Amino acid sequence: MSEQTNKSAEALAKASAGERVRVRAPAKLNLFLHVGDTRPDGYHALQSLVAFAEAGDVLEIAPAAELSLNVSGPFAAQIPRGSTNLVLKAARSLSELHADTPRGASIALEKNLPVAAGIGGGSADAAATLRALNLLWGLNRAEDELVDLARSLGSDVPACVLSRPCWMEGRGEHVSPANPLPSLDLVLVNPGVLLPTAGVFASLNARTGTSAMEPPGRIETLWDLVAYLEDSGNDLESPATHLQPDIDHVVEALHHEPGCVFAQMSGSGATCFGLFNDREYAEGGAGRIAQDHPHWWVKATRIAAPDIGAPRRV
């Protein structure tokens, strides 16, 4: 960076001093996930209803002369720090759209969600970074523009930019808002195993296809959602379980809990979710599962409100 450019970046940072942005990166849930044919580009065609949980990572971003990332939280050690880090890739991609003005940011990521777990993870963090920097840098990019940029970052990133119920197709790059969902009680459970997406798809030997479901109509209750999901499933659960048999044990543990009316793996795993008909049942179930399996990650949470991912100045 030249001296003049460096001074410009420092001036920009000073002008915005004291303006920090805080944003949540909620866990992504594939309420169902159907796989179709392999596309010419090598990706599989997908169809999914995606929702988001209140549980998630948190990012706090402050003005700075250059881009930097500091990671804390229970899963910080699993986050790559180099050029492959999706948070930094997202920040650089957005900055390059406005190359006329040097832009930096000090990004602090509180990593609460397990990595390679089928619930968004790095994709949710990258999407949250786009939303937060759009506010911090005063870019005024429309949501559709952020979704367009997100397509180049990963299959789950466009849905995570929305961070509200959405219908997902293609390899994940085509997303559209779905009808709101009620704030239902959930328990998320991960058996503490890494499950790379590529390996799960490589083990796939049966698929439902991408024409079995239509976007849901109005869903007002838990039972509306369960009825809608009755004829769906997650095509990746079987190959994931073949690679990590503990996934079966997680689903069984959720089904065993009183009040759990639906349990399934999310995404490519290994995190599974259970829908409960009462918060007391969800919290009690989470406590018992955590006590019986101390090495599992267990979290009682809820389906999030539509504004869960909105960045805010602090």
- Residues carrying an active site annotation: 28, 156
- How many helices and strands, by DSSP H and E, does the chain display? 10, 11
Closest by Cα among 95, 89, 22, 25 to 61: 22
Asked whether 238 and 200 are in contact (CB, 8 A), the reply is: no
Q: Is 228 helix (H, G, I), strand (E, B) or coil?
A: helix
Asked whether 266 and 119 are in contact (CB, 8 A), the reply is: yes
- Bridge partners, residue 21, by sequence: 61, 313
Q: How far apart (Å, rounded) are the C-alpha atoms in residues 222 and 228?
A: 10
Longest dimension (CA), the chain: 65
Tell me the residue type at 128: A
Q: How far apart (Å, rounded) are the C-alpha atoms in residues 295 and 249?
A: 13
Tell me the residue type at 272: C
Alpha helices in the chain (DSSP H): 3-15, 86-96, 122-136, 143-150, 157-162, 197-202, 222-229, 237-243, 246-256, 279-292
> Left if phi > 0, otherwise alpha if psi is -120 to 50, otherwise beta: which for 21?
beta
Q: How far apart (Å, rounded) are the C-alpha atoms in residues 110 and 97?
A: 27
